[in-house]
Each structure stands twice: as C-alpha cells, then as structure tokens.
Structure 1
C-alpha cells in the first residue's frame, strides 16, 4: 500500500546503514549454550548473570505456585490481585536490600514509569536532574510525569553540582541515575552523588537493574557496594536480569513506598505479576540470601574474559562490571562481527549500534555469566582473536 511506502524506505535505510537489528529466536531455555533458529550456539549476550533463569529450585518454585495459586493474578493489586506471594516477595526484597519497604511492579520498566511519574508531577515546583546516559525507562518515566528535567553530563559531578545550584530554589529536586550503565558497564559515583543530594536537599533515585545480583554483599546491588543504604532515597531493581525471572520493584522508606502504592499507575491500572513469576523471584532472592557462590563465580569468569580480551588488544572502555563492551566503533564492522561470530564460530553475540549507542561507538556487548565454564570463555577469546585477525581489526 502506498501509504506504507515510508516504512519500507525506513527499513531499507536501516539495512543500508548497518543499523538494522536481526532478532534471533531462541528454541531452548536460557543458559550458557542455547538453540537459536535451530542452531546450538554459545550464548554471550544474555542478562542472565547468575544462570538462575533455568535453575532447578526456581523452576520448582514456579511449578508449585501454579499448582497452589493458578497461573494468573486475576486483577490489579488494589482490587483483588494482591496475593500472599506478592506481600512475601516485597518483604523479602526489602530485607535483602536493607530497606524499610518495597513495592512490586510488572517489570523494571514499569517500576521506573510508576515511581518517577508519581514522585514528581507537572503541578509541583520541582525538577528532575537526570544523568546523560540514563535508561529509556527513566526517560519515559520523566516524560510521563510532565515535570521539567535538566540533564547533567555522564559521571560529571561538577556538572551535577552546577545543575543543582541552578535549580536550588525548586521545592522538589530528584537526582535520577542508573547505578550501572548498561552499554558501557561503568558505575555511577554514588558517594559523591549522595553528598550533593544532601547539600542541596534533593532526593536520590537509583536504577539498579544491572547492579542486582552482581555488586555488593551477595549481590545486594550498587548501594550496598558503596554502603549508602541510609543516603539513597529510592532503589529501583529488576527481577529479569540476575534474578532470572520477570518483574521490577522500588525499595525505600516505608511512607514513600506506601505513597507509590496509592499513586503508581502501573501498580494501580495493570494486573499484578503472575503467581509463578512471583514464587520464582522469591526463590531467587532466597538463593542469594543463602550463598554468594554464584556472585563470586560470575566475577571470576568476568575477570578471565575481560583480561583475555584486553591482552588481545580490544578496547573494553571503562567497564567495572561483567558487561563487556568490545568496541568496534563502526556500525557495519560490528554487524559483520556479530554475523560471523554466529555463522562461523557458533557464538551468539549481538551488535549494539545506533540509536542504542551514539554513532561511531558500535560494539559487541558480551555478558559472561556464572553458568559459563572457563572452556566456554576461552572459546570466545580464541574466536575474537581469529576473527579480529581475519577482518584486519587486530594487527
């Protein structure tokens, strides 16, 4: 149809510029090796940091919950959708994070939408002070609130202070930032941020999606990593990465969390998370409370992979996390690497290109997990050495 010609043109342009994303289809459970489009490949691009997505205890918990509670929650939380499982998970998450209370949402994305749009609105005399590289869910949460925002430069505390000074007369100020930045693996400087928040009487809201299960004592996250529990007002977490399930939450002071129960729109207007997912998340939290073995294995694998890639001559940027950005810079080069890794080496590692990252900063983002063996990771190193030399990227 002529009226859709523009869509075809847009898709063609994406392909011509090396920006078209090929969406692969998994035909097995998540794990170090998966079946993708009928082919067994080494999975190096999943957020399943601890290998919990197919952990026997978590699968058993989900099955047991289906038998006891059924498949669906059946309603929003404020009508008939709050089950004892939801309350148990919220209590366990609050204890795990060393906070007073937690509120459960359907996803990390919904958690940011619900919390940010409730904590500050266009009716308030307030402002969001937002990190330059914040996740899309933070950006959309601020948009939904209708409140003004100003952006400070990535990791630049002088610029954050400048923005706070320019807005010091605002009644409400919320500094909002990722804790771990998902494309580069670098960390927000939380101690300095907490000092500035206190100096300017601002709230501090941290998205800890990639810190959960990775940083801190037994994977309690970036706030625990810096020992700042009483100085960060809100921590958003997701259950879909290191915890291996689905869902999101916000932890913080009891009264503030109760306010989000009254005003968080996804909590109020979308059905509650399903019983098997909630039970699986409870099991994941219990595994981490019991042992830090998986977190230690994740970091051991991370150091092995990243040290090996750097020795080969690859630039991994400023990562301080298992997120491993292998910088290839050019979009078409990154797409070629991804395709050839899949076709020639049976390695599943997606290219990350614009608009996910700025033009000229394309990369293959590798993500080791606790489920990978050293043999798996050595195989990746050998493949990157071979392919790097074949393409002329490595001299």
Structure 2
C-alpha cells in the first residue's frame, strides 16, 4: 500500500495534489480497483505486472481529473509492446479544458456587409447584433474598399502566386508598404501574412542575430510577442504591466553596452489599458535599448491620421503637419520598430512592420517568417492601402467610435455593471468566473440576439473572465440602449456581481479598488471637435513615394 501511495502521488494528476497521508487513508482494495480503471494509473500498474498479452491502450474519455497546463501526459514509455497513446493525449487535454470551463465554443456569425453591425447565424433569418468585433471602424464594409478590392480581384486574380522570393511581388505590395511607411512616418515598411507572424518574426530574429540580447517584455504582452521571445532564445525580463519603476530596476541591472529591446503594446486589447510610450522611450534612451511597439489595437483609431497611440501623443503637431513630419523629434520618431495589423481597423487581413530602412531591409533579407510565407493576395493589399488612405483623411469614424464607447461605459456604470477602467475604446465587463461568463454570453445571444463573446483563460488569467464589448461608429445610441437593457437583464437573471459586490470583496481588475484613480480618455474634447477642414490639405489624396526597399536596395 505504501508503494502504491507513492506511485499514485507521483503519476496521478488527481492524487499528486493530495498528501500521502490522505492517499493512505483510502481503503487499499478500493484504491487498487479504481487505479486499474484510471487512464493514467492503469498503464503504469500494467507495466509492473507479469503478463503475456500486450496491455490495452488507455481510454481517455473517463479521465476527469484536473491537470495543470504545464503537466505532461504521464504515460509509461518503457514498454516495447504498445505504442504511445496519442489519441488519449488529445482527448484528455480537451477534457481538461471542459473541466475548467475554458473550452472554447465558436458561434456561427456571418457579418452582413450592407447591414452593419448585423450578422446572421446558421440561417439568414436568424439575425444578431455584433458587439465584439475587432473590425473597429467597419472598414471591411466600406464601399470604397470593397470597390477597389473587386476591381483588383477581377484584374489580377485571387492569389499572389507564392512567396515574393518565388513569384516576385507586385504594385499592390509596393503601394501598401509605401502607405504604411508614410502613415507611421518611417523610412520603410514590410508586409507579413499576419501581425502574429510579424511579431514572432521580428523578435525571434533579433535574438538570433544579437549575441547576449536581453528582451524586456510587459507581462500582459500578446501571445505572438511571447512566442517570438521564446523563439529568439534571448534572455528575457518580464516587467509588471505598465510599471515603469519595475522596468527601470530591471534595465539598471545590465551595462548600457548590452543589447536590449523593450517590447510592449500601445493598447492592451483585453483590458483597454494604454502604455506611456514617451516615458518608455526615455528609459530606452537612458539604458541603450531599442523599442518594439505593437500598435495592433490602435492603428486606425488614434492620432489625427490613424497611425496609433504614438501619433496621438503629439496630436496637434501631426494634425498641423499632415503627411509631413513635424519639425521636432516626435514620439512616433522615437519608437524604433512598430508592428501593426491590416485585419482590424483597416478591415482586411495581414500584418506589417514599420521602421528605418536598414531594419526593414534586414528583416526582408533574413526573416524566415517573411521569406517562406505566401504573399497576401493583390486584392487584399489593394483594399488595405485604400483603407489607410481613407482613414488618413477621415476623422469622423474615430471620433464616433470614441463617443459611442464613452456612452456605453457611462450607461453600464449607471446600472452598477463593473467595467475595467481604461482610457481606450475597449469595454471589458468583469465577470470573474468562466462558467458565468459563458452563460452571460449565451443569454445575450439566445434571448436578446446580441453577440458578445466570453473571454476566458488563457486569453485572460483565471478569475478575471469577462465580456469584451467594442463599440464602432455604427453602434449608435439606440443600439447602445438596447445593449444596456439586455446586460441589465442578464445581470439580474444570472445574479452576476455588481460594482458594489466587487467593492465589498476589495476589488477586482481595478473595479471597486479603494483609492484607484482611473486615467482620462486619450481623446480630448478638443480632439473630438475637429472636422475634416481642420486637417492639413496634404493628407487628401497624397502622392506617396514608392519604397526602394520593398523590391531590394541596389548596391
């Protein structure tokens, strides 16, 4: 019995979290009978017996014990009589997701181009209002974008024909990269198949090419950045979210000559928090770092021309200078590498990097994530370039989105629904329980015909599960009022925690935390009052200089 207890404690995903004393307290015969039927202990015990026939593979469907995310599937590997139970591994991993309520259900949502923000479900008559899309400005439905894409599709076909290395590239790639470089006021840009690929490609290559590199990463960074840092094999320092004191203390441990990268985001999409880019740039200059800024959830939405939060910090200067650079070094200039997406505010698909000419040419020449990936279709690149040009000279979409977001946040607060405080366009409703968040999402969909996806682990930490709402220019006050009434009904029906409940518990996700002072919105009243006439005339249909680096720099 003592040996069996030790073996159970070592191998079993359930018993390994129990004390040896607790295991010994279980009746020995009962434990043995149960262990033989266990998908984990069964094979282990079988391997200790004398037998002639081979043991049966484990039946993973009966496994319900919770296993930590980092645990390996514990199977006896020493036997020559049976192969590894691959199917058992896959099934047991899915069982774990179901048991902790983090299993993901995808809704059938077919967004309608001519009825935004409506979508239909499996059948066209079953329509819902979409409140959680990352198509923040509805540019995927923009008639100018669709028209440009349709013409390019008819003339140049559906695909790019391969990688640029094999198929060459085309005028659409050159135009798009020129537009992106101009948007961020950088010397060059490079388009990738997605920003996930771009982040992974850049960060991994930095580590592979810079000996002794140290990457300083915000603890809330996106998975694509985390994976890129892992692939880089560089030393990493994880600093507390938006905590510049913690960042500086970590930077100070290394000589200035040590190569260093500070990797962070402008808007963190699940909380809506915003980084202090100028102060991070100050630290980068002080300690000899380059800066890597992910503007995925900010491009199109901030700044007078939609270049993101880095542009927004010098809003007036950029508004006055238009497509030209101001006559001083701006926050946008101080950031070394900017990554962004074409798949959110610009309504298409793809990712990109904008930086100086040397960095972009280096990435183009060495990055496997660029070299070995099929190029975006010509129609997609043409549509993305049109979306950038459109938003450069059109303020109203960004302003309406901010106005609608503020209205929704204020109305939710008025009925006591906890929203994580932030200065951005994200509206994260705190639930704090995976099963309840899923139930709230289902009730909104099935009773109120409103689609808001539940967000759970690993996208957010356990215990901070939420509903994530993203108003757009099309979510006017009438639709917002319908949403508020539906959320109120859901909170009453499911008895979800209100602001007062979180206050009584000491707070959660900065809601109900005594003494917490929320940040003011990034968009000021003055900025929201501008019209198209207040923009520099040079942003309307500018002629953008083509980039040599897109095709390769001649020696």
TM class, shorter-chain normalised? Answer: over 0.9
Q: Which runs of 5+ in 1 are unaligned?
A: none
Which residue is 1:11 aligned to?
Answer: 94
Which residue is 2:512 aligned to?
Answer: none
**Helix, strand or coil for the counterpart of 1:121?**
helix
Deviation at 1:251, TM superposition (A): 0.7
What CA distance in whole angstroms lies between the structure 2 residues aligned with 1:200 and 1:318?
Answer: 32
1:263 corresponds to 2:350: no
1:221 corresponds to 2:308: yes
Instruction: Select 1:153's aligned residue among 240, 243, 255.
Output: 240
1:191-219 CA deviation, whole Å, 9 max, x = no partner? 11010000001000100000111111132
C-alpha contact (below 8 Å) 2:256/2:288 kept by paired residues: no
1:221-245 CA deviation, whole Å, 9 max, x = no partner? 0110123012110110100001110
What CA distance in whole angstroms lies between the structure 2 residues aligned with 1:99 and 1:384?
Answer: 44
1:113 corresponds to 2:196: no
| Residues 337-376 of structure 1 aligned to structure 2 (within 5 Å) | 337-376=440-479
Which residue is 1:285 aligned to?
Answer: 388
| Residues 108-147 of structure 1 aligned to structure 2 (within 5 Å) | 108-121=195-208, 124-147=211-234
Deviation at 1:122, TM superposition (A): 6.7
What CA distance in whole angstroms lies between the structure 2 residues aligned with 1:192 and 1:242?
Answer: 26
When structure 1 is superposed on structure 2, of 58-67 and 115-124 the one drifting more is 115-124
When structure 1 is superposed on structure 2, of 230-239 and 306-315 the one drifting more is 306-315
Which residue is 1:320 aligned to?
Answer: 423
Query: Whose relative contact order is higher, 1 or 2, with alpha carbons under 8 Å and at least 6 apart?
Result: 1
What CA distance in whole angstroms lies between the structure 2 residues aligned with 1:286 and 1:315?
Answer: 37
What CA distance in whole angstroms lies between the structure 2 residues aligned with 1:252 and 1:67?
Answer: 33
TM-score scaled by length of structure 2: 0.69
1:35 corresponds to 2:91: no
**Helix, strand or coil for the counterpart of 2:127?**
strand
Give the total of aligned pairs.
395
Deviation at 1:170, TM superposition (A): 5.3
Deviation at 1:70, TM superposition (A): 1.6
Instruction: Select 2:152's aligned residue among 49, 65, 87.
Output: 65
Cα–Cα, structure 1 residues 123 and 218, in superposed 2: closer, same or farther, change >3 Å?
closer
What CA distance in whole angstroms lies between the structure 2 residues aligned with 1:128 and 1:311?
Answer: 42
C-alpha contact (below 8 Å) 1:32/1:371 kept by paired residues: yes
1:275-316 CA deviation, whole Å, 9 max, x = no partner? 111011011011112211111111111111111111111222
C-alpha contact (below 8 Å) 1:127/1:170 kept by paired residues: no
Which residue is 2:348 aligned to?
Answer: 245
Deviation at 1:9, TM superposition (A): 3.4
1:77 corresponds to 2:164: yes
C-alpha contact (below 8 Å) 1:309/1:381 kept by paired residues: yes
What CA distance in whole angstroms lies between the structure 1 residues aligned with 2:153 and 2:494?
Answer: 51
C-alpha contact (below 8 Å) 1:122/1:147 kept by paired residues: no
TM-score scaled by length of structure 1: 0.96
What CA distance in whole angstroms lies between the structure 2 residues aligned with 1:272 and 1:139?
Answer: 24
1:329 corresponds to 2:414: no
What CA distance in whole angstroms lies between the structure 2 residues aligned with 1:321 and 1:376?
Answer: 20
What CA distance in whole angstroms lies between the structure 1 residues aligned with 2:91 and 2:348?
Answer: 36
1:229-275 CA deviation, whole Å, 9 max, x = no partner? 12110110100001110011111111111111111222111111111
| Residues 161-176 of structure 1 aligned to structure 2 (within 5 Å) | 161-169=248-256, 171-176=258-263
Deviation at 1:11, TM superposition (A): 2.6
**Helix, strand or coil for the counterpart of 2:278?**
helix
Instruction: Select 1:48's aligned residue among 113, 117, 135.
Output: 135
Q: Which runs of 5+ in 2 are unaligned?
A: 1-56, 60-84, 315-330, 499-555
| Residues 80-91 of structure 1 aligned to structure 2 (within 5 Å) | 80-91=167-178
Aligned CA RMSD, in angstroms, stands at 1.6
1:78-134 CA deviation, whole Å, 9 max, x = no partner? 343311110111101111112221111111111111211222327612111111010
Deviation at 1:335, TM superposition (A): 1.0
Which residue is 1:24 aligned to?
Answer: 107
Larger radius of gyration between Structure 1 and Structure 2: 2
